Amino acid sequence: MSTVKNGSAVKVHYRGTLNDGTEFDSSYERGETLNFQVGTGQMIPGFDSGVVGMSAGETKTITIEPEMGYGNINPEAVTEVAKTQFPGDFEFEIGATVHGQGPQGPIMAKILAENADTIQLDFNHPLAGETLTFEVEMVEVS
Query: What is the pTM for the complete model shown?
Result: 0.87
What angle (nearest 5°) sits at the alpha carbon of residue 51, between those of residues 48 and 55? 145
Query: Average pLDDT in the 50-60 region?
Result: 98
Q: For residue 28, what pLDDT is reported? A: 98
**Domain positions in the chain:** 9-71+127-141, 75-122
> For a pLDDT cut of 90, what percent of the chain falls above it?
95
CATH code reported for the domain at 9-71+127-141: 3.10.50.40
Query: Average pLDDT in the 1-16 region?
Result: 96
Q: What's the number of CA atoms in the CB half-sphere (13 Å) around residue 24? A: 14
Question: Does the pLDDT at position 79 exceed 90?
Answer: yes
> For a pLDDT cut of 70, what percent of the chain falls above it?
100
Judge whether 141 and 53 are in contact, CB under 8 Å.
Answer: no
Q: How far is CA 123 from CA 9, 92, 100, 128, in A?
A: 32, 16, 11, 10
Q: For residue 19, what pLDDT is reported? A: 96
Query: Average pLDDT in the 86-101 region?
Result: 94
Q: For residue 139, what pLDDT is reported? A: 98
CATH number (3.20.20.70, 2.40.10.330, 3.90.950.20, 3.40.50.2300) of 75-122 reads 2.40.10.330
Q: For residue 101, what pLDDT is reported? A: 86
